[in-house]
Structure 1
């Protein structure tokens, strides 16, 4: 009986869970909103291209100066961005400075190209090896300086070994 009750409970839970899983199933994507958004404006409407961000003012061709009696097709003209029309003075100065720098660099490139064209044929100027700077002449070896260096090294070694002998004697005297 308990097995039967467990099976019935499991079946009831399964039937209740089916609608819940159906809600979790992938829902269809919402319909795509049009590419353009249009807002009424003077003598027509303003159209925003939602993909590119371009704003256009649209009106009938008759409203653009042609015969007002004839209702022509819609014509749209791009609305110029006011911010892009006149840069602020700081930006204008920066643009002018960059333009001068570009002109100076172009003149420098032209001068370098003329110099390269005037160079003798053969290796390009940049590929030619550069001569190393001259090495100052060395003084002739001094045998007396060599002897002094060897005497100094010999004296240092003698003192070192004397210190080692002294330490050994002191160590042996401490053990007795």
Structure 2
């Protein structure tokens, strides 16, 4: 709804700024189902996006059309892009698997247990081998 409020003043301004031109030249309306409606205005034409309601001022120079969004629409688009970036970052953080690697302290503790175990096993083997020779 807020976007509609932002676009409505631009559309009214565009229509009010070129009433004489609009009376002389009929509007160029895209066929039903098309995405844009074009209306000639002084210095170019206004392009209305029929799906989003965005209004752009377009000019044609050297066979190339250049369209610029109104300031309100540009600010709304930039705000939406920033919101989506923040949401994307939040979702990436939430989806990242937690680290499964042990902490340094955990690693050192496990290594200490392993070392003690191996020393005890080696001592038992030495004792067994020395007892085998006595029998």
RCO (CA 8 Å, sep 6+): is it higher in 1 or 2? Answer: 2
Structure having the larger proportion of residues in strand: 2
TM-score (ref. length: structure 1): 0.25
